[in-house]
Amino acid sequence: MKRRNIKALTLLGHSTTRYPDSPDKAKLEAFPNAYAKRNYVVRFDCPEFTSRCPITDQPDFGDITIEYIPDRLCLESKALKLYLYSFRNHNTFHEEVVNRIVDDIVKAIKPRHIKVTGKFNPRGGISICAEAQWPG
């Protein structure tokens, strides 16, 4: 297999990790898609997602699933992990979470298609599942 240009990846291979404290400060990185002529699905399952309620400031826990068909670029998983971690102290509604993730990934890699599903743990006896897609 030929060596791909991965010089743009800045978060891999460091002995220390800097955790961003908000999605605005997080950096989604990408690498060239070696199979850009083919449609295939990449799926990330993030079962330990955490954000904070914008009203009560209580933690919200959920499972985020990201499914996308890459075009020229693929998401680098460590950068994605740090990006999702950045929501830990971010106050936001569940519906905003999935839409924000879609928007940020589309901006970073311009996939052919993306779907983000958030299954959030119950609060007050009600669980919420929110899903956003692009293109809509």
**Active-site positions?**
53, 60
Per the structure block, which two tokens stand in for 51?
């954000």
Greatest alpha-carbon span in the chain: 53
Per the structure block, which two tokens stand in for 60?
């919200």
Amino acid at position 47, single letter: P
Per the structure block, which two tokens stand in for 59?
């933690």
